[in-house]
Structure 1
Amino acid sequence: MSNVTAANRYAVALFELAKEKNTLHEVNEEIQIVKQAFEENADLLKVLNHPTIPQERKQQLIRDSFSPLSEFVIQTLLLLLKKQRINEVIRIAERFRQLTEEEEKTAHAVVYTVKPLTDKEKEMISETFARKIGKNTLTIENRIDESLIGGMKLHVGDTIFDGSVKGQLDRIERELVTGHDRR
């Protein structure tokens, strides 16, 4: 079984259990915290995959590292460790988020701006663009990109809305170079 297939199966199983227990939102938040921990600490996977470290110590590391999280998520991590699928935790978290978003008719959007967005701006962007893509809401992740000059660029899945000054200048340049006015 490929790694992607395995990750998908674990994500779907976790999703179904969380849905059954009415903890979908909470489990999604926690599994995203786990994903972030693994992304930010490459040594964590090295330790959990190290052949000379006893399984019991690896299990204790998971319990200690993720103790604030629910037993539900910790047990999932322990199962992944036991089945030697701990490397797939990031893929599982990403797929779990997708499944949750589909279920809740939400989507994750990355908004690139020159300066941080206020909560009110995030809310306004969420309302405006959610309707455009047929969702109820968007969860906004704001990333700073000083190369934009001004405006913003929004990524939702495979869709990009480019309202940045840099994007507008690039479009004007293309029109001038090709001699076509797209108006």
Structure 2
Amino acid sequence: MKGTKSAARYAKSLLELSVEQNNSDKIAVNMQAIVNAYDENREFQLFLNSPIISAEKKISVFDSLFSNFEELSAKFIRLITKNGREAQLADIAQVYLKLLKEQQGISEVVLTSASPLDEATKSVILSKIKNLTKEKVELIEKTDKSLIGGFTIVMGDQKIDASIANQLNTIKQRLTK
């Protein structure tokens, strides 16, 4: 993330306002939409980062793109743009989502597997993680064919690597010693 300090300040301010107005979950939906648009659309990234496009034009585009957003989100995006921080909008949105989850006591767990897991397997893994952490857990699923088989789980700064690729790498290291 670029400019994380300012992104964190903006995100914290937005979170405080949204909690005060009792609509933090609705704002979270708006912020997730921004993150998704940024991740999925190269033109949106270029638009946000363009120094050539005026703030007024960007505000006009934002108003039409995000016309269904909560009033607080719309005003916030306008403020960010007027302050010349629109290039940080996706970072601010990500930090907002992270802060909201922390406030709600939700831990993010990233489950990466070689191929998509069936619901029964995900359910077993999720229940074991919930029993282990005694917290609310949000499961984020990813696939990575380089794992060959098995899975990895990342919870905060902890990583559990139960992948075949890791096991093969361990065997390779033992054999080369």
- What's the TM-score once normalised by structure 1's chain length? 0.82
Aligned partners of 1:113 and 1:145 also within 8 Å: yes
Partner of residue 13, structure 1: 13
Residue 148 of structure 2 corresponds to 149
Question: 8 Å contact 1:105–1:135 — kept in the other structure?
Answer: no
Residues 45-66 of structure 1 show CA distances to partners (whole Å, capped at 9, x for unaligned) of: 4334545544333212101112
Distance (whole Å) between structure 2 residues aligned to residue 100 and residue 108 of structure 1:
12
Cα-to-partner distance string for 1:93-147 (whole Å, 9 max, x where unaligned): 2221221121111122221112213344334323322443x35222222111112
Matched residue SS, 2:111 = strand
Counterpart amino acid of 1:76? F
Aligned pairs for 1:18-167 (under 5 A) are: 18-132=18-132, 134=133, 136-167=135-166
Partner SS for 1:69: coil
Per-residue deviation, residues 57-92 of structure 1 (Å, max 9, x unmatched): 321210111223222222211111011111111221
Q: Give the SS at the match of 1:163.
A: strand
Could you tell me which runs of 5 or more consecutive residues in structure 1 were left unpaired when the two chains were aligned.
Answer: 179-183
Q: What residue number does 1:181 align with?
A: none
- Name the structure 1 match of 2:169: 170
Provide the C-alpha distance between the structure 1 equivalents of 2:89 and 2:18, rounded to a whole number of angstroms: 16
Kept in 2, the 8 Å contact 1:106–1:135? The answer is no
* Corresponding letter in the other structure for 1:144: T
Which of structures 1 and 2 has the larger relative contact order (alpha carbons within 8 angstroms, sep 6+)?
2
Identity of aligned residues (%): 28
AA aligned to 1:38 is Y
Q: Return the letter of the residue paired with 2:56.
A: E
Amino acid at match of 1:41: N
The AA in structure 1 aligned to 2:76 is: T
How far apart are the structure 1 equivalents of 2:134 and 2:12? Answer: 21
Larger deviation, residues 45-54 vs 161-170 = 45-54
Task: State the alpha-carbon separation in 2 of the partners of residues 58 and 16 from structure 1.
Answer: 25
**Corresponding letter in the other structure for 2:165:** K
Give the TM-score normalised by the residue count of structure 2: 0.84
2:114, 2:42 → 1: CA distance?
Answer: 29
Asked if structure 2 preserves the Cα contact closer than 8 Å seen for 1:32 and 1:93, the reply is yes
Distance in 2 separating the partners of 1:176 and 1:50? 53
| C-alpha separation in 1, matches of 2:123 and 2:100 | 20
